[in-house]
Amino acid sequence: MIIGHKNEQEIIRKILREYQRGAFIIIGPEGVGKFYTIKKIVEDEGIKDKIFVDSEENILKLHTANLLQKLLSLSADEKRVIVINDAHKLNKEAQNSLLKIVEEIKTSAILFFVTHRPYKILSTIRSRMQKIIFKLVPNSEIEEFLIKKGIKRETIKILLQLFPGQIGKILKTIENKEMFNLLVKMYKSKDDFEKIYNVLTLEDKIDLKEALVYFIHIERLNLMLGNRESIYKIKFLEGLYQDSDYSLNKTLQLSNILLNLNG
């Protein structure tokens, strides 16, 4: 079931039904269900020749782009649809290699980039792709959906305060509520030993980017409650989040965050 994005859903369905070829970029805030939406629609439309690239790697390199080039160049019996989630992970070399084929797809193929960081994609590529803009999902729709799932109203209220309009983040938090509760406890703790102990104990399970997202939203909520110091903490955490793809030592990074922000 897709929550929200009714207009965007219709646009994507129209593209899949009426276009034989083309390159599109889906842009919108993180965690609003962009990739889930297009993946569900592609499957619902019965597209048999479909490829979804959803890598956990921080960087998608040239070999990935070369594979995509081949897939977009080869003829197929049916229309081929390729969807690249977090397309901003393609490094500069990979993006340059895709530039020519994005400009003119000659086979029966449709390419979708999905990203919440479009400025990381070369402007020469962006300008050659038709844009589909996703927005935040209305909180009323999220609330109605969560109530039907049996989530308590008090929990829903907290989740909507932390992640307004971000259905993807809310569902991920519900799915990983134990880790979320632990990260919040670690972040708010005044016991330095407890912080470091938990980081070292759980380092293999903790995703640095996910932790930073939670910390940022905690401080945004604190800011809404009148804590002006949260402005500086948010800027600091957002800077770390932007660079987290290149962080080589997440344990050290996370330990420094916990000790320096709320020590």
Domain at 108, CATH number = 3.40.50.300
Angle at 220 between CA 204 and CA 36, to 5 degrees: 60
Structural domain boundaries enclosing 232: 139-261
Q: Are residues 247 and 171 in the same domain?
A: yes
Q: How far from 21 is each of 37, 71, 73, 109, CA to CA, in Å?
A: 20, 13, 11, 5
Q: What's the full length of the chain, in residues?
A: 263
Q: Are 167 and 3 in contact (CB under 8 A)?
A: yes
Q: Which of 70, 98, 133 is the last residue of a domain?
A: 133
Q: Are residues 112 and 183 in the same domain?
A: no
What pLDDT shows up at residue 10? 97
Total structural domains in the chain? 2
Cβ atoms within 10 Å of 109's Cβ, excluding its own: 23
SS3 sequence of 51-93: EEECCCCCCECHHHHHHHHHHHHCCCCCCEEEEECCHHHECHH
What is the per-residue pLDDT across 200-212, written as a single tens digit (0 to 9) for each? 776 667 777 778 8
Strands (DSSP E) contained in the chain are 22-27, 49-53, 80-84, 109-115, 130-133
Residue 163 — φ and ψ, nearest 5°? Answer: -130, 65
Q: Which of 133, 148, 182 is the last residue of a domain?
A: 133
What pLDDT shows up at residue 235? 85
Q: Are residues 57 and 39 in the same domain?
A: yes
What pLDDT shows up at residue 196? 74
What pLDDT shows up at residue 249? 65
Dist CA 100 CA 233 (whole Å): 42
Please count the CA atoms within 13 angstroms of the CA of 108 that sit on its side-chain side: 13
Q: Regarding predicted confidence, which is higher, 190 or 227?
A: 227
Cβ atoms within 10 Å of 161's Cβ, excluding its own: 14
What is the per-residue pLDDT across 215-249, written as a single tens digit (0 to 9) for each? 888 888 888 878 888 888 888 888 777 766 555 56
What pLDDT shows up at residue 146? 94
Q: Which amino acid is at 123?
A: S
- Report percent pLDDT > 90 for the chain: 43
| pTM, rounded to two decimals | 0.81
What is the per-residue pLDDT across 57-93, written as a single tens digit (0 to 9) for each? 777 778 888 888 888 888 777 889 999 999 999 989 8
Q: Which residue has the tokens 């980081």?
A: 199
What pLDDT shows up at residue 40? 96
Q: Which residue has the tokens 């020469």?
A: 124
Residue 31 covered by a domain: yes
What pLDDT shows up at residue 244? 64
In whole numbers, what is the pLDDT of the chain averaged over residues?
A: 86
Q: Which of 83, 117, 133 is the last residue of a domain?
A: 133
Which pair of structure tokens corresponds to residue 78?
């049916």
Q: What letters, b where the CB count within 10 A reaches 16 and e where it falls short, cover 22-46?
A: ebbbbbbebbbbbbbbbbebbeeee
Q: Are residues 186 and 146 in the same domain?
A: yes
Q: How far from 251 is each of 67, 133, 204, 254, CA to CA, in Å?
A: 34, 36, 9, 5
Residue 167 — φ and ψ, nearest 5°? Answer: -60, -35
What pLDDT shows up at residue 180? 81
What pLDDT shows up at residue 247? 54
Q: Are residues 128 and 218 in the same domain?
A: no
What is the per-residue pLDDT across 123-163, written as a single tens digit (0 to 9) for each? 999 999 999 999 999 999 999 999 999 999 988 988 998 88
Residue 1 covered by a domain: no
Q: How confident is the model at residue 262 (pLDDT cuts 50, 70, 90)?
A: low
Q: Are residues 11 and 112 in the same domain?
A: yes
